[in-house]
Structure 1
Amino acid sequence: MAKWLESGTRRDVCAILYAGGELRAPQLKRRLEAHYDARIDPKRFYGRLDALVESGHVERRVDGLDDIYALTDAGARAIRDHYAWLRELIEGQE
């Protein structure tokens, strides 16, 4: 599996985009912060987001002043594969 899972934040960004479709960066960051119930350092957040764009799991497009992010086919496939792996591990313990 590609290095996209090097960071739990990267994985969670992909999961949010999988469920939510296209999102502006501030919306995405707020959803992560709500999930973690904690503030996420902007530099860390944007670094993880840039890494996902560079790896081809997320695409970025510009809409006026905003960057809008969406999951690519590779990103969707990676999140589904990860979900299947987790489900297999969890169900194997029941």
Structure 2
Amino acid sequence: MEDLNAFQRDLLYVNESVGEASGLEIKDVLDSHYDEEIDTSRLYPNLDELVDRGLIDKGSIDGRTNSYTLSEEGHQALAARREWEESLKPTD
């Protein structure tokens, strides 16, 4: 996870949140978070990179629309990331 960029990490968090989703469904969630609209030329190459790394599974919804689901490795990567973030919080 350390070598992912912030956008790729956001894609993992969104995919975990929405479950199986099309790229456009993921884009809609990101568009509501970011100040600017996410271009599909940015979205799909990053989703493909996460698929290639085994963090997201790519399937098919209707034969022409792809679906994206967080893989078990993706769940583990997010859990490790959250654990690391927690370790950085100051203790009282």
Mapping of residues 29-40 of structure 1, within 5 Å: 29-40=27-38
CA distance in 2, matches of 1:78, 1:32: 20
Is there any run of 5+ residues in structure 1 with no aligned partner, and where? none
Residue in structure 2 matched with residue 79 of structure 1 by the alignment: 78
- Aligned CA RMSD, in angstroms, stands at 1.6
1:37 is displaced (CA, Å) by: 2.8
Alignment length, in residue pairs? 91
* 1:4-15 mapped onto 2 (5 Å cutoff): 5=4, 7-15=5-13
TM-score, L = length of structure 2: 0.88
Q: State the percentage of identical aligned residues.
A: 29
The offset of 1:58, in angstroms, is 0.3
Which 5+ residue runs of structure 2 have no aligned equivalent?
A: none
Structure 1 runs of 4+ with >3 Å offset: none
Structure with the bigger percentage of helix: 1
